[in-house]
Amino acid sequence: MKKTMKKTLFNEIFATIIDFCGIKSHNIVNATRGTEWVNPNTISGWRTRGIPRDKYFEILCEAIHTVLCADEHKAEYCEQRRNDLKKDLESIWPKYSDSGMCWDESKSVIENIPEILKNGYYLSGLSKPAEAKEQIKNVKRLVAFDLDGTLIKGFRYSWTIVFKAIGSTGKEAVKFKEAFELGNISYQDWCKSDCEILSKGGLTFEKVQDAVKNSGASLTKNLVEAIEKLKSNGCNVAIISGGADSVLYALLPNARELFDEIFINELVYNKDTGILEKIKPTLYDWDRYGNGVEGKQAGFRLLCERYNVKPEESVFVGDDFNDVGAMETAGMKIFYYSYSQHDPTRGLGRRPEIRSIPSDAIHEPGNDLMRVANRILKWDFGDMDYIE
């Protein structure tokens, strides 16, 4: 049976040292210019999971040493507080009774740090890649995706396309969204109000299909292939979205067969007239407001229980601020966005009072879900950099 990925001695030592020294991931990257290296998100990931390859570990140690030596004030400050660092590290070592770690009083902080990192690294060795690949089919893991802007690219909200299907900009529905955000109406009332507007406009699934075609929206590249690869390697896959299911089915008719679970707002059409009859609201959408919904975080936890997996061993992939709650719960968080759609002045960047992206989130810009799938599968091998 495969051992689950747990925080290692190296992870705890690495996080403690860089926090104590005030070293950021970009400081380490800047100290390695001209050298084959990984990105800041990979480095951040080593705080909580996995360990670097040998060649990257040597570069990491050298970079940390370079950063400290290049800043005389930082080095002096660390030396003055050496007892604090020693105390922090010695609180970690007893968790690993056979670690054999120690602090050399005869050496400076800058001299101690690489030695302690090296000892922690070699004592935290994971399975060899060949062995891990043999074990991967035994992995039980949930991988949950947001929909709008994540699995479907080219727009921010699927509801915009739904309203365009009746020739509307959706401005008449903004007041209901605002009322929900203020706590004046429930999520169910918000959906009911939107349904009344859309029904009066004669919305049908065929109109949604036409609107999708005219919108330029598309499935993210390699969606089907990436999902099938995850499933073949032991993962359960799900969608947790506050979007409209008709947009999903217009682009991916077999979505229910491809995904194990889909939590989304369901548009129900009259069997005789074909016109929208009601909207069945999802229970799992906006974590912030909670007016009649439990949030994506709750949906993610529910699915982890349903498939008997731990949230910290599972993955959430999203692109906007209402995904952050679920991201915080997941062991791996992937912020997957298109260059064209990501604007730091909107969403997560403009609304810091809502939540910020978790510090250990992996940023995956672009439009190729196979890259995301490979990152997820690479997690099992303890190495976060991208592989084909």
Q: What is the pLDDT of residue 253?
A: 96
Hey, CA dihedral for 65, 42, 154, 268, is it positive or negative? negative
Which range has highest mean pLDDT (66-80, 172-186, 239-253)?
Answer: 239-253
Q: What share of the chain is helix, strand, coil (3-state, %, to 5)?
A: 50, 15, 40
Tell me how far apart the alpha carbons of residues 255 and 259 are, in angstroms, rounded to a whole number: 6
* Strands, E assignment, the chain: 141-145, 152-153, 218-219, 235-244, 261-269, 276-280, 315-318, 332-337, 362-365
What's the mean pLDDT in 99-116? Answer: 83
Please name the amino acid found at residue 193: S
Q: What is the pLDDT of residue 100?
A: 61
Please report how many Cα atoms fall inside a 13 Å half-sphere around the Cα of residue 188, on the Cβ side.
5
**Location of each CATH 3.40.50.1000 domain in the chain:** 137-379
Q: Which of the four pLDDT bands, split at 50, 70 and 90, describes residue 13?
A: very high
Is the confidence at residue 349, as pLDDT, over 80?
Answer: no
* CA 304 remoteness from chain centre: 15
Q: Which of the four pLDDT bands, split at 50, 70 and 90, describes residue 376?
A: confident
Is the confidence at residue 242, as pLDDT, over 50?
Answer: yes
Is the confidence at residue 255, as pLDDT, over 70?
Answer: yes
Q: Greater confidence, 58 or 201?
A: 201
What's the mean pLDDT in 242-249? Answer: 96
Pairing of strands 235-244, 141-145: parallel
Q: What is the pLDDT of residue 292?
A: 86
Identify the three-state secondary structure at position 150. Answer: coil
Q: Which of the four pLDDT bands, split at 50, 70 and 90, describes residue 139?
A: low
Identify the three-state secondary structure at position 124. Answer: coil
Identify the three-state secondary structure at position 332. Answer: strand
Is the confidence at residue 380, as pLDDT, over 90?
Answer: no
Is the confidence at residue 178, as pLDDT, over 70?
Answer: yes
**74 to each of 15, 32, 67, 106, how far by Cα in Å?**
17, 19, 9, 20
Instruction: State the greatest distance between any 2 C-alpha atoms of the chain, in Å, as a whole number.
Output: 85
Q: What is the pLDDT of residue 331?
A: 87
What's the mean pLDDT in 288-310? Answer: 89
Q: What is the pLDDT of residue 355?
A: 55
* Cα 265-155-343 angle, rounded to 5 deg: 120
Tokens 């369901």 label which residue?
266
Identify the three-state secondary structure at position 176. Answer: helix
**103 to each of 99, 100, 119, 382, how far by Cα in Å?**
12, 10, 11, 27
Q: What is the pLDDT of residue 51?
A: 79
Q: Which of the four pLDDT bands, split at 50, 70 and 90, describes residue 4?
A: very low
| Helices 9-21 and 72-80: angle between axes, nearest 10 degrees | 110
Tell me how far apart the alpha carbons of residues 153 and 368 are, in angstroms, rounded to a whole number: 11
Q: What is the pLDDT of residue 243?
A: 95
Is the confidence at residue 338, as pLDDT, over 80?
Answer: no
Residue of 288, 300, 20 whose CA lies nearest to 144: 300
Which range has highest mean pLDDT (181-185, 193-197, 353-357)?
Answer: 193-197
Q: Determine which of 77-81, 247-251, 286-290 has the lowest per-residue pLDDT on average.
A: 286-290
Tell me how far apart the alpha carbons of residues 38 and 173 are, in angstroms, rounded to a whole number: 45
Q: What is the pLDDT of residue 306?
A: 94
Residues facing 143 on adjacent strands: 237, 315
Residue of 72, 80, 79, 67 whose CA lies nearest to 22: 67
Q: Determine which of 15-29, 89-103, 152-166, 278-292 has the lowest per-residue pLDDT on average.
A: 89-103
Tell me how far apart the alpha carbons of residues 302 and 73 are, in angstroms, rounded to a whole number: 49
Q: Which of the four pLDDT bands, split at 50, 70 and 90, describes residue 6?
A: low
What are the two backbone dihedrals, phi and then psi, of residue 287, each rounded to the nearest 5 degrees? -65, -30
> Going by CATH, does the domain composed of 137-379 fall within 1.10.3720.10?
no
Identify the three-state secondary structure at position 368. Answer: coil
Mention every residue, 6+ apart, whose C-beta is less than 8 A from residue 55: 36
Average pLDDT taken over every residue of the chain: 84
Q: Which of the four pLDDT bands, split at 50, 70 and 90, describes residue 9?
A: confident
